[in-house]
Amino acid sequence: MKIKVFIHGIAVDPVSNSPVMLLKEERGNRILPIWIGVLEATSIASRLENIQFPRPLTHDLLKNILDLLGIRVPKVEIVDLRDNTYYALITLDIQGQLVEIDARPSDAVALALRTGAEIYVAEEVMKKGQTFTESPVEEKETIVGATEKDKERLSEILEELDPTHFKYKM
């Protein structure tokens, strides 16, 4: 089963000072954090904030090439999590023929933002990933699919976050 998600925001992990892409399910409260690179975070954030650069960034260039060739991007999917690495697929519609291309989730999402593609996460990835919920709960939330050390670290990070940590939010 695939869960439709949207970019909830880009945050900065206060421990590692690394960007974190937060994907929230469209019909639910689960949020999947995925640590990403600075360049990918810049590309995503610039699109979220409608910042225009004098020259195209890599994801803008790719979109321009796809547009020129008449290729649509109907969806991107985060399909697997193995050895702490997320895997994604970009679906291309080439004159009615669907082709899937392997990609990093951050690149897939950056391209989806530019093309209007839908973003999905496989249910299994949501279960294996370090998901948390946005809505307050009375008892401590459970983070599934991670080591105890990872769960403690993420819980600490999430407890310390406040709205000012979210640099870009939709």
Locus of tokens 């870009």: 168
* Span 139-149, pLDDT tens digits: 334 443 445 66
Segment 158-167 mean pLDDT: 52
pLDDT of 52 reads 86
- Our count of domains for the chain comes to 1
Q: CATH number of the domain at 11, please.
A: 3.10.690.10
- Residue of 131 and 115 predicted with greater confidence: 115
Locus of tokens 């973003």: 119
Locus of tokens 């991107």: 76
pLDDT of 147 reads 53
Residues whose CB is less than 8 angstroms from the CB of residue 33 and which lie 6 or more positions away in sequence, other chains included:
11, 20, 21, 22, 23, 129, 130, 132, 154
Is pLDDT at 165 greater than 70 in this prediction?
no
Q: What is the pTM of this model?
A: 0.77
CA–CA dist 100, 159 (Å, integer): 38
* Span 56-111, pLDDT tens digits: 999 999 999 999 999 999 999 999 999 999 999 999 999 999 999 999 999 999 99
**Structural domain of 34:** 2-169
